[in-house]
Amino acid sequence: MLGLAVLRFALPPPRASASFSTSAAATAAGNICLVDGSLRAVLRPDVSEGDTVAAASAHRWRMVISYDGTKYKGWQYQPSPPTIQCFLEKALIHITKLDRKELCLVGAGRTDTGVHARGQVTHFTTPFAYHCLDSFHSAINGLLPPDIRVREISAACLEFHARTSSKSKIYHYKIYNGAVMDPFHNNYAYHSAHKLNPRAMREAAKHFVGVHDFTSFANAVHNDRVRSPIKRISRFDVTEMVTDDPIT
């Protein structure tokens, strides 16, 4: 199998409804009923304990997420198809009691249908502070489906932005180059039965490294946001991977 990795490439959102539920007693106690039926205590903002500040003073939170995108229509929010952003927003709304416009959840970049992420950075905003994020972290993962996970959550400065603060991005493209596709790689690699030439591919990859104008690869602009087609690619590696036994 061949693995293609690209650094700093150009670019810069629910499966069936998640079964979120709360009872009046659980809500009053500050608990959340998770998808497995268990209760999770969440620290709610409490003015008396100084855990909140005026709404005008916002607080920004950084999350690192991983997901298997097989069942999803990419990252970007859409009203009906299952997307990653939709499920994250549902969980955040459930915990914070804010609406999606107040949360302003932003991802470092968009992913297409079926694309996976190992460490995608996101951020959201609240008008109050959380002094303990451990219970928040446990609660949000308890509300999310098992193929979406928040790996990290931490406070960030208001100037931090998941997309515009990004210095570089890494993309991996996997090609399974066998006559018969291995079912264990079906959701994680493109199948090419035609024998590829890794040496020629490495030579071709060298032409992408550096600063280039990618106008010919850009999508049509449908709004007033004009992004520069000039991008820098730091590395483009073509690596042969051994996958004799996908089970071990």
Report the side by side order of strands in the sheet with 148-156. Answer: 106-107, 117-126, 59-67, 148-156
- Residue type for position 213: D
**What pLDDT score does 118 carry?**
93
Taking CA atoms, 248 is separated from 69, 173, 184, 243, 245, in Å, by: 23, 22, 11, 10, 6
**Phi and psi, residue 134, nearest 5°:** -65, -50
Question: Which segments of the chain have a pLDDT < 50?
Answer: 1-33, 35-55, 245-248
Domain coordinates in residue numbering, the chain: 2-8+168-240, 24-156
**What pLDDT score does 243 carry?**
64
Q: Which residues are catalytic?
A: 112
User: Tell me: domain 2-8+168-240, CATH 3.30.70.660, correct?
Assistant: yes
**What pLDDT score does 223 carry?**
56
Percent of the chain with pLDDT over 90: 59
Output the pTM of the full model.
0.71
Indicate the CATH number of 24-156 among 3.40.50.880, 3.40.190.290, 3.40.50.300, 3.30.70.580. Answer: 3.30.70.580
